[in-house]
Chain A
Amino acid sequence: MVTQVENPILEVHDLTVSYQSKPVLWNVDFSLPSGSLTGIIGPNGAGKSTLIKSIMGLTEKNSGYIKLFDKPLSKVRKKVSYVPQRESVDWNFPTSVFDIVLMGRYGHLGLFKRPKQADKEFALECLRDVGMEEFKDRQISQLSGGQQQRVFLARALAQNADIYFMDEPFVGVDAATEAAIIELLKKMRNQGKTVIVVHHDLQSVKKYFDWVILINMRLIASGPTETTFTKDTLQEAYGGKLTLLSQISDLLSKEDIPTRQG
């Protein structure tokens, strides 16, 4: 069940990606409307991260093409932001919170050019938006998981992009940070930005996202959360994992009751 949209901000066409000749993504084909807050959902190893890595040109494709704003990524890099998984970098790296956020401006600077005063002020503003202004001179090795994620988010904001791809921003963060991040993402969506988030906590999908992409190597479903995030599509995505399935039906029957995690 795939809802294709007109004038999509992102179009993924027949994407196949394999690792050591094992397919990770198989013939994935979908499009996304501008101004949506989208969750990419699927079981572990379903290819969720691989999907956004391919969109960002970080993984080689076997076939298919990807268009952003109807153009290849190389033509629109300044409008596209990427937040890698928090664990993908070395947090003992000798640098400060502010220098990491300033990195978000690098895409707007030419080769060998240094950030200007305006870039620094903008970076500071982004740090304020994630509630980390007083941590600006802090060494990144002294941050908690939630604070690290906020710094990454501030760096993405500093890119001042139109579409944001985030790889598992809620993993290993405290509840307060998760709430603050989702609040910020919704605010960005309301300002007309498009946000795509790799996510694996099924409990919060309905609360967080207005659009859902369900994958398990193949694309299972893509469309508005209301019509796409259903028992049938979940069953298809999560297959024969029985215990999980019972949890899912449990979840779906109680979907209007606030969960404990909320």
Chain B
Amino acid sequence: MNTFWIILTGCLVAIPCSLLGSYLVLRKMVMIGDAISHAVLPGIILSFMITPSFDSPLVILGAGVMGVLTTFLIEFFSQKGKLPEDASIGVTFTWLFSIGLILSSAFTSKTDIDLDCILFGEILNIPLQLWITESGVNLGPSPVWFLGFVNLIIVSFIILAYKELFITTFDKAFAIAIGISAGLWHYLLMGMVSFVTVASFESVGAVLVISFLVTPASTAYLLTHDLKKMLLLSVLFGIASAVGGYYLSNYLDSSTSAGMVTMGGILFAIVFVISKKLKTA
């Protein structure tokens, strides 16, 4: 049963990450995703100090605010300060991340935050956090329910806002000209990325979540020239990395999240070689 819950958790992390990651790849904003996944740390720690639970609305709100703030600061430095965007990203997220580290070392004595767990996740603990109702019914691990809810939100967002995300990603100027606010959709997308990051860090960690955002989407990008197919394929590759990675890490007796990320990399390498072969053939 534990195996089932762990693999399900992995898939529930992989699905929304792959979907949002596809748009990050196409917008050439993968590094902003990386920045957000690090910069939510101070938000998580601060909220955790107030309510010591990882799936409380406050933690999500704290991380969401940090994510949008990160996006805003990156834009602000690169547009108002005329700093190259990559430099702006580097300055912003390392700074916010280090504030998170200071906060955590200053306050972890007072709370039960495990920094390792925040950075690298511990998916094996998920099946232990059972949600048992007052009448004593076991509903399974609560993080799975929470991730399920996140999936519902992200999948509906991607389906409902397909037109808006497509046009603002492909041709920002044209979108603005016909009255679709490119800025609003940019911040909405980045807000969703923060939301998914914070929902995922407990199982895969704030550092490795970037791999779930970028690798399945990049693998899918190599294989198709159709946005809808790319979104579907990225989800398939995400799920394949989660499932394959679990067994890989079991076999190697290593960290589960690292196994999933490694599996994603292996799939990418295989697809890369095949797609090169297909193009030259």
Q: Which residues of A contact B (CB under 8 A)?
A: 20, 53, 56-58, 74, 77, 80, 82, 84, 88-90, 93-96, 99-100, 103, 106-107, 109, 111-115, 139, 141, 155, 159
Contact A58–B176 (Cβ < 8 Å): yes
B225–chain A nearest beta-carbon distance, Å:
4
Which partner residue on chain B sits nearest A111 by CB separation? B164
Question: Which A residues are CB-close (under 8 A) to B226?
Answer: 94-96, 139
Contact A94–B167 (Cβ < 8 Å): no
Question: Which B residues are CB-close (under 8 A) to A57?
Answer: 176-177
B46–chain A nearest beta-carbon distance, Å:
34
B78–chain A nearest beta-carbon distance, Å:
13
Contact B227–A94 (Cβ < 8 Å): yes
CB 8 Å contact bits of B143-166 with A (1 = contact, 0 = none): 000000000000000001101101
Point out the residue from A74, A90, A107, A141 that lies within 8 Å of B225, measured CB to CB.
A141
Known: A106-B178, A109-B163, A141-B225. 8 other contacts (CB 8 A): A57-B176, A80-B177, A88-B173, A94-B224, A95-B225, A95-B227, A103-B171, A103-B174
Query: Complex: how many Å from CA A84 to CA B176?
Result: 11
Question: Which B residues are CB-close (under 8 A) to A89?
Answer: 170-171
Question: Which A residues are CB-close (under 8 A) to B82?
Answer: 20
Contact A77–B179 (Cβ < 8 Å): yes
Contact A84–B174 (Cβ < 8 Å): yes
CB 8 Å contact bits of B228-248 with A (1 = contact, 0 = none): 011000000000000000000
Q: Does B97 contact A (CB under 8 A)?
A: no
B177–chain A nearest beta-carbon distance, Å:
4
B277–chain A nearest beta-carbon distance, Å:
19
**Interface size class of chain B, counting residues whose CB lies under 8 Å from the partner chain:** 20 to 34
Contact A106–B180 (Cβ < 8 Å): yes
Question: Which B residues are CB-close (under 8 A) to A141?
Answer: 225
Q: A20-B82, A94-B226, A95-B227 are in contact. Are A58 and B164 (CB under 8 A)?
A: no
Question: Which B residues are CB-close (under 8 A) to A99?
Answer: 166, 227
Query: Complex: how many Å from CA A216 to CA B230?
Result: 45
Query: Complex: how many Å from CA A90 to CA B225?
Result: 13
Query: Complex: how many Å from CA A40 to CA B190?
Result: 38
Which partner residue on chain B sits nearest A96 by CB separation? B226
Query: Complex: how many Å from CA A155 to CA B164?
Result: 16
Contact B178–A77 (Cβ < 8 Å): yes
Question: Which A residues are CB-close (under 8 A) to B171?
Answer: 84, 88-89, 103
Contact A94–B161 (Cβ < 8 Å): no
Query: Complex: how many Å from CA A20 to CA B161?
Result: 35
Contact A82–B225 (Cβ < 8 Å): no
Which partner residue on chain A sits nearest B176 by CB separation? A58
Contact B163–A139 (Cβ < 8 Å): no
Question: Which B residues are CB-close (under 8 A) to A111?
Answer: 164
Question: Which A residues are CB-close (under 8 A) to B221?
Answer: 94
A83–chain B nearest beta-carbon distance, Å:
8
Query: Complex: how many Å from CA A156 to CA B160?
Result: 25
12 contacts between A and B (CB under 8 A): A56-B176, A57-B176, A82-B174, A84-B173, A93-B169, A94-B224, A94-B227, A94-B229, A103-B174, A107-B178, A113-B163, A155-B174
Contact B177–A112 (Cβ < 8 Å): no
CB 8 Å contact bits of B19-30 with A (1 = contact, 0 = none): 000000010000
Query: Complex: how many Å from CA A243 to CA B167?
Result: 44
Point out the residue from B160, B163, B224, B229 that lies within 8 Å of A106, measured CB to CB.
B163
Residue from B170, B176, B178 with most neighbouring chain A CB atoms (10 Å): B178
